[in-house]
Structure 1
């Protein structure tokens, strides 16, 4: 049985830990800080066998040197030679076997140009999407264009509705506040906001989400909806799903 749990890092990062009941060997995704990973491994008598990397930002890769030094794990990541320590550099359509699950690599540029996501079909389907898709939001465009990010999100949105979305940051409450402005008549946002508030009051993560819910509440996946387009039109061009997305992303940057 494969389980996925968050290791909190920095102020709002999640380093995702994949483990099986039958083995002490584990996998982590985007270890920006080695310390919380090492603490957990030592506390629970686990061994780090694999690291998955989605993109080059330091809060996703900063723990690599120390974890490699201590555990010599297999490191899988994008086709970016500037990320040191990667053993397997994968691209769109490549696959890797991790913890008994076969993960497909999806190239999802936008937040960064090297960004990839890892998707495993099965029960349930799993998606590790770094800073591309957040619950009720998406990543800032540090390197890519609105068109690239819109295409990347559309690729993720086409995955099965039951796919669990393991994003890398606890941004959900802030994203939902923006979602309410961008999709003001959507009652699903109000319901999810209340659910997430209760979770955070108990110091519980709002993640993982799932794609069915994201289709209901995430304005960046709803840029073809009249209510979202109407709200975006108050801020800029919203005459197509792409222009609506671009306007939403610029609006969110200053919200």
Structure 2
């Protein structure tokens, strides 16, 4: 059941999940229609899943529905979603063809952001990135940290299928936080090799992110100590996370 990341825009990925024996598939976050149509036109996807309302994640829906008008579109219960989106709620489970889809509310990047757990694949949009996390456009640090904690609690083998190719840029910041993290150094070399050979650095795994991603490591002494040097207040994990996110927002390699 391979998941295929289709490049879109400068650094987005549209994810397609395939069931090879039956030829069934679904699409996650089609910010553009053209990569999806170029990938497969022989039969329509069983569904389109949307994590949040930003245009680089939903912009291709209208054109795809012109090509495949009967395909259901699922996403957050938010008026900013494309017309006709079937709203989902936290904890809901869908059966889509051969797949069981678990819906997870992960607010922070946006107020209504969702993630989807499908078998071993986590489609997390812009909440969790490899070696990073999304900016908080609408949520609070406490909300974002709680969302990341929720994803971090998934099994270590869970594949992290996020919305952008940010791994190398995130690695530069992560090394500024934990320069002696051996797992992070290994992940950087791995991602560099992938990108040099024009391959995606994704998916990652939850286990790898727990070892390397500073935003999932706010409880670790090396991260907290590094963050404390940038702020006057690091009294708890929320404060550590908030300061870490501010540091990242202003970081230049």
User: Shorter-chain TM-score: what band?
Assistant: over 0.9
Q: Could you report, residue by residue, the CA deviation over 1:125-155 in whole angstroms, capped at 9, with x for unpaired residues?
A: 2110000000010000111111110000001
Residues 118-133 of structure 1: pairs in structure 2 closer than 5 A: 118-121=116-119, 125-133=120-128
Find the counterpart in structure 2 of residue 175 from structure 1.
170
CA contact (8 A) 1:53 1:78 kept: yes
Q: TM-score, normalised by structure 1?
A: 0.94
Give, in whole Å, the separation in 1 of the partners of 2:238 and 2:85.
36
- The yes-or-no answer on 1:134 pairing with 2:129 is yes
Residues 10-89 of structure 1: pairs in structure 2 closer than 5 A: 10-42=9-41, 45-72=42-69, 73-89=71-87
CA contact (8 A) 2:58 2:82 kept: no
> Secondary structure of the equivalent of 2:137?
coil
CA contact (8 A) 2:8 2:31 kept: yes
Q: How many angstroms does 1:84 deviate by? A: 2.2
Residues 1-255 of structure 1: pairs in structure 2 closer than 5 A: 2-42=1-41, 45-72=42-69, 73-121=71-119, 125-236=120-231, 237-255=233-251
Q: TM-score, normalised by structure 2?
A: 0.95
Give, in whole Å, the separation in 1 of the partners of 2:201 and 2:43.
26
Q: How many angstroms does 1:22 deviate by? A: 2.7
Q: How many angstroms does 1:26 deviate by? A: 2.0
CA contact (8 A) 1:95 1:102 kept: yes
Give, in whole Å, the separation in 1 of the partners of 2:147 and 2:58.
22
Tell me whether 238-247 or 170-179 shows the greater mean CA deviation: 238-247
Q: How many angstroms does 1:21 deviate by? A: 1.6
Aligned-pair RMSD on alpha carbons?
A: 1.2
Q: How many angstroms does 1:100 deviate by? A: 1.1
Give, in whole Å, the separation in 1 of the partners of 2:133 and 2:226.
18
Q: How many angstroms does 1:49 deviate by? A: 2.5
CA contact (8 A) 2:46 2:96 kept: no
- Stretches of 4+ aligned residues off by more than 6 angstroms: none
Give, in whole Å, the separation in 2 of the partners of 1:173 and 1:82.
31
Q: How many angstroms does 1:39 deviate by? A: 1.4
Structure 2 stretches lacking a partner, 5+ long: none
Give, in whole Å, the separation in 1 of the partners of 2:166 and 2:207.
18
CA contact (8 A) 2:50 2:73 kept: yes
Structure 1 stretches lacking a partner, 5+ long: none
CA contact (8 A) 1:184 1:227 kept: no
Q: How many angstroms does 1:213 deviate by? A: 0.4
> Secondary structure of the equivalent of 1:8?
strand
Tell me whether 47-56 or 108-117 shows the greater mean CA deviation: 47-56
CA contact (8 A) 1:27 1:99 kept: no
